[in-house]
Structure 1
Amino acid sequence: MQVKIRTDLDLLQRCLMIILWSAVTSYILSFLKWDFHTWNQMFLVVGLGASLVQSSLQLDIEDKSVLITGCDTGFGLVLAKHLHALGFKVFAGCLLADSDGAGATELRSIGGPDLHVIQLDVTKSEDWSNASVYIKEHLSTASAGLWGLVNNAGWATFGDVEWVSMSNFNKAMNINVNGVILGAKHMLPLLRKSKGRIVTITSGLGRFAVPTRSPYVASKYALEGFLDCLRYEMKSFGVSVSLLEPGNYIAGTNIFNEKFVMSQAELMWSEMSDEVKQVYGKDYFNKKVEVMRSYMNNGTKDISPVINSYTDALLDVFPQVRYQPMDLYFKVRCIIATHMPEKVYEILYL
């Protein structure tokens, strides 16, 4: 057991909710017994103290092993190196492992007995089966099973509903949702043995929607629903299921770059019917494309909050259901979207 003092916005939100709850409850109880300040002080001491302790206690790494998907680039590549440096046995799933992709090559160059690069296309059941066999063969003898499954692989595109092809809608659902379902089905036998963790990245856009992102948003909303069901089902087995809902880290992950945005835009325009082109017009279309290009530079470049949240979800003694590595803008936006009338969100953000 170890202690890690947290200072993130998740803890701040939790403390503010305790303060609010304490004030309301103390006011009501003051009519029955004692005064407001007595009740309020008692609730604040107990509530804030418990919250701080709950967020600070972490497990020792010991012989824990973790499988991470999507380690070719971005979060997955950085996380694999980070967890390996901490002392985890890491199985890094790469889409391009068999074809010597840049990410797989970089991870292999690190070497060592506790970093394994494996071929893993999350949409292929055969790859998951092979990964399961490989992991069983390479788990340490002291390990009860696989401690963590980190579902990091994902795919995103953009465009209004009438612009996006069904193949792109299907691709988003297949990678972002079906890939996670396949992973759960194949890895749960190993995770149940260790009473381990499933940690999955969704998005802030799994909590609130925005225009021109329907393929991505639809897949993330579906993923949130699936993971809630899985979390309820796994409680009796001692397997924790946590979600990461990050803000805008496009600038730090290169999930969208100039080449990708422009190629998607050209493909969408070329595949649109004449009627759709006429209704929307090229000027409107170009404005939407420019918005996506702006996201590449306006997001947070420092991805360490996401890496820290992944690590916390794997090690917290009391893992949160949702970790939200967001800046203050997205944190407030998420609270407004999920706790206030829809009209308020539309007025402020759309």
Structure 2
Amino acid sequence: MASQLLIRVVVYAAMLMACLQPTTGAGLWAKAFSVLLASVLAWTVCRFLPVTEVDGKGKAVLVTGCDTGFGKEVSRVLHDRGFTVFAGCVLKDKGGEGARELAAVGSPRLHVLQMDVTSDDSLWKARQYMEENLPDKDAGLWAIVNNAGTSTYGLVEWCPIETYKRVAEVNLWGTVRVTKVFLPLVRKAKGRVINIASGLGRSCAPSRSAYGITKYGVESFSDVLRYEMKRWGVDVSIIEPGNFISATNIFNKQGIERTAKELWDGMTDEVKEAYGKKALDDYKLLMHQYATEGSRDTSPVVDAMVAAVVAVSPKVRYNPMQFYWHVRTFIMTHLPEWIADNIYIY
């Protein structure tokens, strides 16, 4: 880790010297631009530096939310790279397709666990099973990948408080709950925790508050955990995907329609009169468009998750998102609100 940090410092120093040299005797703005240019160039160069990776043999990884999407795919990839994988599936006891597909691999290094991230009892049972089946009981758990998640939509006045609680119970409290149960095993391994947030955890959008607040919470929780785990040699990384709804099927046509009906049926007459049915139909159409426009390829997110598990020095944040979301996130987090809001919101 120290050697890679030293390389980055040397690269930045070299770029800074090269950019500042022509500005000798120039004004403050020229020097400030040179520092910015040096930062961009150093960041670009460091992106292509070789990454030292750990050997998965003898190391165990826990992945939550493996019934579908990213969790199911990353479990397979990590298993193929030599890790022992404990794949948590909430639908295992109901014969869920994802749990059956992973179990069909038939490998002693791929364990499919019944796991409900909203249940303390379920998690402690999973930990007991894990401790009995770790490849090296003295080595602990190399990584937690907190992937389990759910989503919804609806304006603040439309969403009942129960919706906020339901989404938070999985996305936020589920992440906290899993981390607290398994963190002692990660400390033993001097491993890492990887939390799946979202681009909407950096800059949210109208109708996504119930989802957005959970991802902002995951960002904050991850940052604080990173500060606290430094002394133990445990890394904490955050994955911030862009729009991959089409790939994960977290929203589908039936789900969007069902949510719209539940929202309308749950509104008070006062709210219905204020907004009107057309406003709901407009947001429903927007969600249909959002769901169909997203990437159908899970590999950018899966690759980021794998990189966070295998890198000797993992990044703090991985941003597997489309160019549009890179630009939007930068503008929404760096420019004055009156500029960013008028570009993307109003």
Secondary structure of 1:159's partner?
A: coil
- The 1-side partners of 2:22 and 2:155 are apart by 49
After TM superposition, give the deviation of residue 224 of structure 1 in Å.
0.9
Is 1:136 the counterpart of 2:170 in the alignment? no
Letter in 2 for 1:278: E
Alignment of 1:112-151 (within 5 A): 112-141=107-136, 144-151=139-146
Secondary structure of 2:101's partner?
A: helix
Letter in 2 for 1:198: V
After TM superposition, give the deviation of residue 56 of structure 1 in Å.
2.3
8 A contact 2:226–2:235 mirrored in 1: yes
After TM superposition, give the deviation of residue 27 of structure 1 in Å.
5.9
| Number of equivalent positions | 329
Using the size of structure 2 for normalisation, the TM-score is: 0.88
Letter in 2 for 1:59: V
Is 1:71 the counterpart of 2:51 in the alignment? no
- The 2-side partners of 1:49 and 1:206 are apart by 24
Secondary structure of 1:149's partner?
A: strand
1:52–1:167: structure 2 CA closer, same or farther, 3 Å change rule? closer
Secondary structure of 1:92's partner?
A: strand
* Larger CA deviation: 225-234 vs 339-348: 339-348
Match of 1:348 in 2: 343
2:318 is aligned, of 320, 323, 326, to 323
Letter in 1 for 2:151: A
Match of 2:20 in 1: 26
After TM superposition, give the deviation of residue 143 of structure 1 in Å.
5.9
8 A contact 1:90–1:116 mirrored in 2: yes
After TM superposition, give the deviation of residue 165 of structure 1 in Å.
1.1
Alignment of 1:96-111 (within 5 A): 96-111=91-106
- The 2-side partners of 1:18 and 1:269 are apart by 55
- The 2-side partners of 1:163 and 1:18 are apart by 49
Match of 1:5 in 2: none
1:311 is aligned, of 306, 309, 317, to 306
After TM superposition, give the deviation of residue 18 of structure 1 in Å.
5.8
Alignment of 1:255-270 (within 5 A): 255-270=250-265
After TM superposition, give the deviation of residue 62 of structure 1 in Å.
2.3
After TM superposition, give the deviation of residue 140 of structure 1 in Å.
1.1
1:287–1:29: structure 2 CA closer, same or farther, 3 Å change rule? same
After TM superposition, give the deviation of residue 50 of structure 1 in Å.
7.3
- The 1-side partners of 2:22 and 2:235 are apart by 36
Match of 2:88 in 1: 93
1:167 is aligned, of 150, 162, 165, to 162
Letter in 1 for 2:63: I
8 A contact 1:91–1:118 mirrored in 2: yes
8 A contact 1:145–1:191 mirrored in 2: yes
Segments of structure 1 that go 5 or more residues without pairing to the other structure are: 2-13
Match of 1:282 in 2: 277
Letter in 2 for 1:189: P
After TM superposition, give the deviation of residue 259 of structure 1 in Å.
1.1
Alignment of 1:241-256 (within 5 A): 241-256=236-251
- The 2-side partners of 1:146 and 1:268 are apart by 42
- The 2-side partners of 1:159 and 1:49 are apart by 39
Match of 1:187 in 2: 182
CA-based RMSD: 2.8
Letter in 2 for 1:255: I
After TM superposition, give the deviation of residue 334 of structure 1 in Å.
0.8
Using the size of structure 1 for normalisation, the TM-score is: 0.87
8 A contact 1:55–1:316 mirrored in 2: no
- The 1-side partners of 2:257 and 2:47 are apart by 46
Secondary structure of 1:56's partner?
A: coil
8 A contact 2:195–2:218 mirrored in 1: no
1:339 is aligned, of 331, 334, 343, to 334
Letter in 1 for 2:139: A
